[in-house]
Amino acid sequence: MDRYSYLNELNLLLLELPKKEREAALAYFEDYFKNHRNIEDEEIIQTIGTPLENANRIKQNFTSNGGKLHQESVVEQNSDSNMERSSYSWLWLVLSILTIPIWLPIGIVLLVMSIVILILLSVMMLVVGITTIALLAGGIVFVVSGIIKCFTIPAVGMAVTGIGLVIVGISILLINLCGIIFGKGLPALIKGISSLFKRKRRKR
């Protein structure tokens, strides 16, 4: 935002003020920009505050002072608040740098642990998946073999069919269990690890 956009937006935000007071406020800020022409517009705006902030302060100042404007106090308030925010930013930066030896090893350990856990879960998922598929295929083979055997040796055929149905049932239960664990449990674990890292960043 340049000075012209700034003044135009400020003018729109001050339309509810009387024309004389609005023009006086705009003239003050226009002079402020002119007196600091050797400074970039964006830097000036960071110092004096946004149009909305100044408009709110001007209206409040206008009301509390019986219809008289004191633009200097508005700019000073904005400058002080911006300086305070800048001081806090520098303080957090210094604290972050000083505490690097503490949080960096912790962050590395947490990252390694997270990767190991994810790898183990992936291996478990693969093993359980292969086992489930093998059980399902074996159960189907038993059922088909049992049905065929029923025509020659009914007792053996029924027993084999029953075993096959049990195996198929177990494999279906495993499929549902995998769906619950890896469909809900794994995303919840990843979300928990992610939120843990976010909390660490916010503390820094």
Return the pLDDT at 81: 53
Judge if 131 and 166 occupy the same domain: yes
Return the pLDDT at 69: 47
Total number of domains in the chain:
2
Judge if 108 and 171 occupy the same domain: yes
Judge if 10 and 32 occupy the same domain: yes
Write out pLDDT tens, residues 107-164. 788 888 888 888 887 788 788 888 888 888 998 999 999 999 888 888 888 999 999 8
Q: Where in the sequence is the domain holding 136, given as residue range(s)?
A: 99-203
Question: Buried b / exposed e across 28-61, counting CB within 10 Å, b at 16+?
Answer: bbbebbeeeeeeebeebbebbbbbebbbebbbeb
pLDDT score of 44 more than 70: yes
Judge if 65 and 147 occupy the same domain: no
Write out pLDDT tens, residues 160-203. 999 989 998 988 888 888 777 767 766 766 676 666 656 545 54
DSSP letters along 98-135, please?
Answer: HTHHHHHHHHHHHHHHHHHHHHHHHHHHHHHHHHHHHH
Judge if 112 and 49 occupy the same domain: no
Judge if 197 and 114 occupy the same domain: yes
